[in-house]
Every structure is written in structure tokens, then in C-alpha cells.
A and B are shown apart, each in its own frame.
Chain A
Amino acid sequence: MVGVVSHRIMEPRESMSPLNPLEVRIDQGEATVAVSEHELNDAKTASQLSANLSELIEAHQHSPCGESQSHTPDCLTHNSQDNRNTFNLDLGNVGWVSSVGLNELIELNRNARNKGVQLVLTNVQSVVREVFLLTRLERIFEISWDEAQTLA
């Protein structure tokens, strides 16, 4: 068994709920976006979520440098070319991941790489980590394990 898994009951899915706007945090040019557990795992919202994230990744890579922070893809800021090629997906709010969520993360990872961007999964909770290990997907994802372990 991997770590101690604290249980959290999965709440019933809210079908047809609109997606919440994605909030992009910029730190020294590196973008981080937190995603919602429900939007990632629900087949009704997951593909739209990954499409929106792909759009953000592309915008982050190509947008001009600037200091102002914004939530819109057109105005993302970055201070260095290197950081522009890294995009963090904060899974701190994701307490579980289904096969639907995994499929979207696989697509997103592939889209990012095709654009020359390294997708990094951060704040991965222990139960999500376990699913990555069971499916061997830890082999294809860049995962910030240090942060994951501090949360475990």
C-alpha cells in the first residue's frame, strides 16, 4: 500500500454544471493552474476542461512578456523562455481521479509536449498518486513528488 490514504467520499456528480473559470497563477514566468476534481472526473466536463487547459498552455507559451497577472489566456505573463516551457497543473483540490480524468490528463500531457511545453503535476494527493502507480502512468507524467509526499 502506498502511504496512508485518507478517505474522502466522492460527491455525486453535478451534471451539466458550467465550468468554473480557470485561474492562472504566475510565479517568475511559470504558470500554475488548479483544476477541479468534479470537472476533471465528469465525462460531461472533462474534455472541455482539457481543451481549455490546452488553450492556456499555448497562450502561455506564445504570449508576450509582461508583469501584470491576468486570468485570460491572451495576457499571461512570463519572465523567461525556460519558464514559459513549463506549465504546472495543481492537483491539490483533486482527491480522486477516475479513468475519465486519466484520459484527459493523458491527452493534455500529449498536447503540451507537442507544443514543446512540459506539463508538471503538482500537489498530487496520495490517492491520486496510487492511481498513477496502478496504471503506470507515472512513467509518462512529470510529477512533483516532493510536494506530493508532504501532503501524503
Chain B
Amino acid sequence: MSAKERSSMEAEHVPKWTLRRTIPSNTAISSELAAELIDAMMQRDWPASDLFRVQLAYEEAVVNAIRHGNRHDVSKTVHVEMACNDDEIWIRITDQGPGFDPNSIPDPRIDELIEIPGGRGVLLISEIMSEITYNEQGNQITMIKRKADASADGIEHE
């Protein structure tokens, strides 16, 4: 692949809207950033159902970062990065906590856990978003939502 072709491909993936912000461990402030993302999605004709879903996934992830990562420590911050184009949303949230092992959280939908509170934030994120990765330390989540992705759409048929 020539440098020109590579450059062209990369150009297609350059997000049309980006946000990069370091915020204190405060859920009121983190929610304000969600409004900016929603505005960007609406300007790019994302369906209403995805606006709700992506916002919920973002809220769950950022609340996890503040609550479980930084443990509401006001001296710690959360780094929020978001990008949105016509077809894809990209969100990365990094906290200053020790990190966690996402595989250590059991599926709360199993019979033994269905009536036990907890674990549903991670579940909602994984059901809503198209792709999720954590860094090795477990203090950073990267989430991607693709437009018209089947995630969260299959429940109608079950």
C-alpha cells in the first residue's frame, strides 16, 4: 500500500468531531460531556435509539471510573476522549485507580445472580456497544459503537 493510499484510508477514519477533556471525579461534570457527544451525534443523523444507548454506556463507564476507579477522590481526575463521525462513535475513559479485571465480573443474568445488585453497568456497556477493550492495567476502557450495529437489537427475537 502506498503512502498516499494509506493516507487516504486514514483520512476516511478521521473523526469529524472530537473531544478530549480531563475532569474531576464529579458525575455532574461528566454528564455535561455526554450532552456534547449527543449534540455531535444528532448533527450526524444518528438514530434516536443509539443516542440513548451510547449515552447510557458512556454514563455507566464514567460513573465506574469515578466511583470504582477513583473512589470519588477529588484529587484524582478522569480523562475522557470521544470522537464521532457519521458511522462510528469512539469513547475512551481513563481513571487514576488501580484498575480492575473485567473478566472477574460474572454475568449478572445467570439465575444465581439475577436478584443480586451489581455488575450491570459493565453488562449494559457490553450489550450496547459494538466493541469494548480494556488496557492491561484495567483503568482504561475503550468503546466503539457502529451505526446500524446489531448490538442491543437482538432482544426482540428472544
Interface residues of A (CB under 8 A from B): 1-2, 4-15, 42-43, 96, 98-100, 102-104, 106-107, 109-110, 127, 130-131, 133-137, 139-140
Contacts and interface: CB of A to CB of B under 8 A. Distances in A.
A134 B114 contact: no
Contacts of B108: 135
Contact of B127 (A103, A107, A134): A134
Interface stretch (B11-19, B92-100, B115-123, B131-139): B115-123
Contact of A106 (B117, B121, B123): B117
Contacts of B114: 136-137, 139-140
Contacts of A137: 114
Contacts of A8: 52
Contacts, number: 93
A53 to B, nearest CB: 15
Interface residues of B, number: 36
B27 A13 contact: yes
A100 B28 contact: no
B49 A1 contact: yes
B38 A135 contact: no
A110 B115 contact: yes
A42 B152 CA distance: 24
A43 B48 contact: no
The A contact surface, by secondary structure, is: loop
Given A43-B67, A134-B152, A135-B108, A6 B48 contact: yes
A43 B55 contact: no
15 contacts: A1-B152, A5-B49, A9-B38, A10-B31, A10-B59, A11-B31, A12-B28, A13-B27, A15-B26, A99-B60, A102-B117, A102-B120, A104-B117, A131-B56, A134-B127
B27 A15 contact: yes
B141 interface: no
Contacts of B44: none
Q: Is the interface of B mostly helix, strand, loop or mixed?
A: helix
A107 B120 CA distance: 14
Given A12-B31, A12-B35, A135-B120, 8 more contacts: A1-B49, A98-B56, A99-B121, A106-B117, A130-B152, A133-B155, A136-B114, A139-B114
A136 B108 CA distance: 9
Contacts of B38: 7, 9
A1 B153 contact: yes
B23 interface: no
A103 B124 CA distance: 13
B51 A7 contact: yes
Contacts of B152: 1, 130, 134
Contacts of A134: 123-124, 127-128, 152, 155
Interface in B18-35: 26-29, 31-32, 34-35
